[in-house]
Structure 1
Amino acid sequence: MNSSMAPEKYRKPPQLPPKFTATPSSLIEETKRLIERSRNVQDGIVRDVTPETASFENTILPSARDDNKMAIESHIIGFYQAVSTDKALRDASTEAEALLDDFGIESSMREDIFGLTDAVYKKKENLDPESQRLLEKDYKSFIRNGLNIPAGPKRDRFKEIKKRLSEISIAFQKNLNEEQGGVWFTPKELDGVPEDVVSSLKKGEGENEGKVWLTFKYPDLFPTLKYAHSADTRKTLFVKNENKCNGNVPLFREAVLLRDEAARMLGYNNHAEFKIEDKMAKLPKTVDDFLGDLRTRLAPGGKKEIEKLLELKRQDLKDRSINDGTDEKYFLWDSRYYDRLMLEKDYSLDHQVIAEYFPLQTTIQGMLKIFEELFGMVFIEIIGEDRAALADGGKSSDIVWHEDVQVFSVWDDEGEGSGFIGYLYLDLFPRDGKYGHAANFNLQPGYIDENGNRRYPCTALVCNFSKPTPKKPSLLKHEEVVTLFHELGHGIHDLVSRTTYSRFHGTSTVRDFVEAPSQMLENWCWTPSQLRSLSHHYSYLSSDYEAAYKESSGADQKPSEQIPNSLVAKLINTKHVNDALFNLRQLHFGMFDMTVHEPKSHEEIENLDITTTYNKLRKDISQLDGPEALGGDWTWGNGQATFGHLIGGYDAGYYGYLSSQVYSTDMFYSVFKENPMNGKEGRRYRHTVLERGGSKEEMDILEEFLGRKPSTESFYKELGISK
């Protein structure tokens, strides 16, 4: 809804939104205060409780309630480093996060609390299922944090490793966020790259006179790899992008070695075994078998796809009279370029034209409408005086962290009981120092407080779409529409979740399930009726845009308002073009992840050349050539150093993207494929899957929703490689 004033019943949410008014010093003070409060809670438990008197009520619950309160502030404290324009504030946020991490490690290593938790665990009280799960997870977490390692030098070493791993993770991500690299190119070298990309680049002076500065950020990188005619330009950019964070190379190696050492101290054979034990897969063998099976099924498809792409490449080089001897090689920097060329040629699909139908704001409104219908929700944008009212005496800008941010209050519709759900924030455009990908951040989880009242969640989508200009609004490529839907899927999971403890709220599920709900929603972006209803050609947004469209396209009239069926059909035909290659790329990441985390011995990992392993494995799996095919060696690039996932929590877990794809396809095929807008099933999905967050064993949630055990058949059918 976009009126300047929301309907009366939506104007007073029962909980005010948080304020984003921190200063660098307030962030640190606040963090120290939170830590002190938590430490006091823990000390109090130890002071007042003995193993004999220990119960869930006096030992586990006080900490869980403190966790709830902590999360309300700590998530936002750590969020500033991803979105603030003020470097001092970002640095303070990073520093605060390090303090919180250190305190987390200290808490997880408290022998005195472990002793009491152990006593409660052995008493086997009769608890409600969510509390029972909390107790089990707490107990297990102490054991996984080394508290069964006898105190002394061995335990101290384990603690040291945990602390160092936390430092590595923060430094690694900071290097990626603050990365300022790029390449000076002449406009001639960028021949083919869309004009609106090239014209927005910084112009060189002095020795770089006549050149433009192309960064490694997505809005520069992807169009260049897709459209630059010069293979040298694409190669230079590709190789330099793989080397953009070489400071992370030693950090990555150190992390892998330390993880292996720590896992062995706990009695596991390797880090993968340690990590996968409490995921849905349970055993590394399950993961290796799954990835191996997928590789066997995808490899022939990948080979076929490369043959077709090579044919296209040969023809293209011939048409341009280029004779550089590369017509038998399909390179890593060829893939986005010829992929696009094939789509344009064989499917006559021009992604720029499709993007004209997906201006950012109308697309978002369309998506929210889909979620409203499917899940029984209402989204109200908070603008103007409503913002001021919710700032509670402060400035209306206090309730956002940047002027570009949109904020919505989210409600249940009447059928769902008209209650308040929470707040949704959209931060959509690139800025200096901002997180560079698309992600959903929980700002405040929901939970039930000690008085039995519900605390409502806040969640933020942080993306990097191109900014609107006077001639064009921000237009989304179809893949960006999919990304937006995906991240919004996480956001909805975060909003509709209703758990007793913040620990299980929303997307706090095991990592090999967490992507499934949002991956499932991507299917709506491949459904003709949904695509049409989402589309709205930008020339209908204003007379200025209409004039600009006519001028730039040379057309004398506007196209149809909604995307034509013929274009949708073409787009959907391309869904699985070169899909084997795409999935083999994911498989490379997943198998590399397992390789470095599943060594047979510690010596094996000490002697492993990680860079060579990364590049060789990529060639073996994806079958694409790198610079090594031109006579170089395997150490030409350090892709692992740019790969935040493996340091940021997806270690021995990257396979989760693929396995959750299996779950999501299974759910979509068996429940929604016939009728994606089936509100009855949508609500059942909301209440059975999304609402529960991680408060129940994920496999049980999935089986309850499907009415059976999950199967890989739909996934293979979707990829066209069913048995």
Structure 2
Amino acid sequence: MAPNRKPPQPPPLFHDTGDSIKKKIKGHISNSKALTDRLVKELKPQDATFDNVMLPGELLGNEESLETEVLMFYQAVSESQELRDASTEAQKIAKDYSVEASMREDIFQLVKAVYEKKEKLDPESAKLLDESYKDYIKMGLNLPEGSKRDRFKEIKLRLGSLETDFERNLAEEKGGVWFTPEDLTGVPTDVTSSWEKGTGETEGKLKMNFAYPNLFPTFKYAQNAETRKTAYVANTNKLLKNKPIFQEVIALRDEAARILGYPNHATLRIENKMAKTPERVNDFLSDLRQKLQQGGASEKKALTELKKSDLQSRGDSKGNFDGHYWLWDNPYYNRLMLERDYSVDHEKLAEYFPLSTCIAKMLEIFEQLMGLSFVEVVGKDRDALSPDGDGSHIVWHKDCHLFTVWDSEDQGGNFSGYLYLDLHPRPDKYKHAANFNLQPGFINRDGSRHYPATALVCNFSPPTKTKPSLLKHDEVTTLFHELGHGIHDLVGRTKYSRFHGTNVVRDFVEAPSQMLENWCWTPGQLKSLSNHYSYLSPEYEATWRENSPKDAKQPDKTLPDDLIDKLVKSKHVNDALFNLRQLHFGIFDMTIYQPENHEQATSWDFAELYNKLGYDIQHLDTPVQLGESNDWGNGHTTFAHVISGYDAGYYGYLFSQVYSADMFHTIFAKAPMNPTQGRRYRRTVLEKGGSIDALDLLREFLGREPSNEAFYRELGLQV
């Protein structure tokens, strides 16, 4: 660690046992219950104020969040089954208590009294009171006591259990498909070299599990169409145990919304978001679908012709052109088109993006743009930083990277928080890429600040003995996107933990990171992020030479201008089909949460709905075109978003792109590394978190009302 840079607070510790996890969560619940019991006993509604009702609970919530988020995090990253199980159980216990606490009539009467007094409060406290009051209403506290309220509570408790089971099934899924080496022709050996090797009946085969670093390259590179189909269909059917869970969750959410007086779950969920109403969301998705349909058809036609010529050129007697363009064809021929028509070879491009240097250069971008400084904590410095003197306790796995994060000197040089990076797959680890807030930031009781700890959990291919971990360009973009969420956490400066960092409305939360993705497509930043792996060490240079033609000249150290130009020109290739796929997800989500009546919500065949919508929107062939029924796949059973937080909210990925495009093209497009604008963005948008309405943040940053012009222009569409 740098001298004289000791953080003002220690990082969280990761030394729990299964018993300690359960004991801690029960202790937090006991403390919370004791506080609310005391408030109800000591206060009458006429005596209730913000300071004696709202503030005590919020301060306790701030303090308890320092442990509770870590307790829930173990299920995503721990190697111990005991810890993962205890973490999952703790989550269930916490959800059940949350339902119980949020349905207490006695505490609601105190909150209601405070709400109706209309005290003069600072804006963040006023927002806290307003949202808390409305949350109680949405938990049924305006319902008359009796059967309706009892049923509502029963539903909420059941939903908490179902949601946890759905997430755990996803996290612990261990399936896969066995392929022969011949089946996998075309898939890079860097990918398959780490796959499980078969014995007995599977002797001579390799197991492709469904983790993204294995699945996606199979889709993109396997020359055998049957291999791609087998992998695709198996992946969509890997979690049939989630089928009844999905069915019950949708039915119960619809019933709960109707008990509260809403016509459907979508109306309930969207009223406090930026979109405000399902009608606005439906109009947005419908308009975008209409605008993209023609482009999608044109792209499909060109890709179909490419498939036909590819099969003919290979003389593929087993795969003669069948007149179809299948769902599982698209990743393969999209890649082939990029290579053929744009000379974009993503395997070659990956050589310029070793993970280790890419991370360092991304952090440099945030240092220059937003006024931050990152110091990695290694070796004995971890022991010095740990409250118990054991540096192994401040990470959950030996391969984790830990950074202390500071404001740059021109920003005051103050501590900003802790950043963790957990980058490679391992058994039972969370399988995608995401940012987890481990400890939020907030103002302590004594007026000092508690700073956040945030973690990026990813699954990039690990290094081998002869090569470092190399990132495909889409993985570079993913890493920068998730790091953007981490920065949002790290620079948060709110009073209460509930508004910290990424705790903003769901249809805005992706906008800051989506905006940052543009830095992975601008020539100057692409060059600055690149560093050909052959320059990292003599051993890596030797590896490169062994795999190159004799007397080949060592590549440029950074990405050459001609390759950058080709990559940038390829940005919007087959963009319509990509966005139609996102529309499929968004429209499916909105459809299932807007049934015509409750009977429809309980009787839907979700597999048929999911697959039929997919074909109607994308027009990519499925087994239905071979005469099979629409239940050939069960993609909805792996669709975590619509169960775990993005219910009636997946549209937000597209909706927030309107705002991300507007911010980038208005403020940053001409000078992406302008430090004045970068720091203004940090102060105006990121620091405020959810403490101010997102639309107001945008208005202040843009200096006007947000517009969709840049979004449609980016897609090559007319406004």
TM-score by length of 1: 0.98
Match of 1:667 among 641, 663, 666: 663
Which residue of structure 1 lines up, in the alignment, with residue 333 of structure 2? Answer: 338
Which residue of structure 2 lines up, in the alignment, with residue 424 of structure 1? Answer: 419
Residue aligned with 2:456, SS: strand
**Inter-partner Cα distance in structure 2 for 1:332 and 1:473:** 32
After TM superposition, the structure 1 = structure 2 runs for residues 13-412 of structure 1, keeping only pairs within 5 Å, are 13-322=7-316, 326-412=321-407
Shift of 1:555: 5.1
**Inter-partner Cα distance in structure 2 for 1:434 and 1:209:** 27
Is residue 442–residue 497 contact of structure 2 (8 Å, CA) maintained in 1? yes
Which residue of structure 1 lines up, in the alignment, with residue 485 of structure 2? Answer: 490
Shift of 1:393: 3.6
Is residue 427–residue 463 contact of structure 1 (8 Å, CA) maintained in 2? yes
**Inter-partner Cα distance in structure 2 for 1:180 and 1:554:** 40
Shift of 1:326: 4.7
Shift of 1:27: 0.6
Which residue of structure 2 lines up, in the alignment, with residue 647 of structure 1? Answer: 643
Is residue 190–residue 229 contact of structure 1 (8 Å, CA) maintained in 2? yes
Shift of 1:325: 6.5
Match of 2:581 among 578, 585, 590: 585
5+ long unaligned stretches in structure 1: 1-5
Which residue of structure 1 lines up, in the alignment, with residue 563 of structure 2? Answer: 567
Deviates more, 1:188-197 or 1:123-132: 188-197
Residue aligned with 1:258, SS: helix
**1:552 lines up with 2:547 in the alignment:** yes
**Inter-partner Cα distance in structure 1 for 2:674 and 2:4:** 27
In structure 2, relative to structure 1, the CA distance for the partners of 1:49 and 1:326 (3 Å cut) is farther
Which residue of structure 2 lines up, in the alignment, with residue 718 of structure 1? Answer: 714
**Inter-partner Cα distance in structure 1 for 2:276 and 2:17:** 43
Aligned pair count? 717
Is residue 436–residue 457 contact of structure 2 (8 Å, CA) maintained in 1? yes
Shift of 1:262: 0.4
**Inter-partner Cα distance in structure 2 for 1:44 and 1:283:** 39
Which residue of structure 2 lines up, in the alignment, with residue 638 of structure 1? Answer: 634
For residues 656-703 of structure 1, give each alpha carbon's deviation from its aligned partner in whole angstroms, at most 9, with x where no partner exists: 000101100000000000100010000000000000000011111111
Shift of 1:149: 1.1
Is residue 582–residue 654 contact of structure 2 (8 Å, CA) maintained in 1? yes
**Inter-partner Cα distance in structure 1 for 2:65 and 2:627:** 53
Residue aligned with 1:611, SS: helix
Is residue 307–residue 321 contact of structure 2 (8 Å, CA) maintained in 1? no
CA RMSD in angstroms, aligned pairs only: 1.0
**Inter-partner Cα distance in structure 1 for 2:393 and 2:236:** 39
Shift of 1:613: 0.6
For residues 503-545 of structure 1, give each alpha carbon's deviation from its aligned partner in whole angstroms, at most 9, with x where no partner exists: 1000000000000001111100001000101111111111111
Shift of 1:501: 0.3
Amino acid at match of 2:374: F
Shift of 1:394: 2.6
Amino acid at match of 1:38: S
Shift of 1:128: 0.5
**Inter-partner Cα distance in structure 2 for 1:138 and 1:313:** 56
**Inter-partner Cα distance in structure 2 for 1:184 and 1:103:** 44
Match of 1:707 among 703, 707, 713: 703
Match of 1:9 among 4, 10, 14: 4
Is residue 471–residue 549 contact of structure 1 (8 Å, CA) maintained in 2? no
For residues 467-498 of structure 1, give each alpha carbon's deviation from its aligned partner in whole angstroms, at most 9, with x where no partner exists: 11121000111000000000000000000000
**Inter-partner Cα distance in structure 2 for 1:261 and 1:391:** 49
**Inter-partner Cα distance in structure 2 for 1:633 and 1:538:** 48
Residue aligned with 2:416, SS: strand
Deviates more, 1:383-392 or 1:503-512: 383-392
Is residue 418–residue 453 contact of structure 2 (8 Å, CA) maintained in 1? yes
Amino acid at match of 1:329: H
After TM superposition, the structure 1 = structure 2 runs for residues 427-466 of structure 1, keeping only pairs within 5 Å, are 427-466=422-461
For residues 608-652 of structure 1, give each alpha carbon's deviation from its aligned partner in whole angstroms, at most 9, with x where no partner exists: 221111000000001111111111111100000011111111000
Shift of 1:230: 1.0
Match of 2:476 among 481, 504, 514: 481
Residue aligned with 2:633, SS: coil
Residue aligned with 1:8, SS: coil
Is residue 627–residue 636 contact of structure 1 (8 Å, CA) maintained in 2? yes
Shift of 1:320: 2.4
Which residue of structure 1 lines up, in the alignment, with residue 625 of structure 2? Answer: 629
For residues 576-622 of structure 1, give each alpha carbon's deviation from its aligned partner in whole angstroms, at most 9, with x where no partner exists: 00110000000000000011001121122223221111000000001
**Inter-partner Cα distance in structure 1 for 2:532 and 2:673:** 23
Shift of 1:154: 1.1
Residue aligned with 2:315, SS: coil
Which residue of structure 2 lines up, in the alignment, with residue 3 of structure 1? Answer: none
Which residue of structure 2 lines up, in the alignment, with residue 509 of structure 1? Answer: 504
Amino acid at match of 2:699: E
**Inter-partner Cα distance in structure 2 for 1:362 and 1:498:** 30
Is residue 187–residue 222 contact of structure 2 (8 Å, CA) maintained in 1? yes
Is residue 407–residue 414 contact of structure 2 (8 Å, CA) maintained in 1? yes
Amino acid at match of 1:276: I
Q: Percent identity?
A: 59
Residue aligned with 2:91, SS: helix
**Inter-partner Cα distance in structure 1 for 2:70 and 2:547:** 43
Match of 1:536 among 531, 540, 565: 531
**Inter-partner Cα distance in structure 2 for 1:325 and 1:190:** 18
Is residue 313–residue 327 contact of structure 1 (8 Å, CA) maintained in 2? no
5+ long unaligned stretches in structure 2: none
Amino acid at match of 1:433: D
Amino acid at match of 1:675: A
Deviates more, 1:390-399 or 1:481-490: 390-399
**1:620 lines up with 2:636 in the alignment:** no
Residue aligned with 1:146, SS: helix
Amino acid at match of 2:680: R
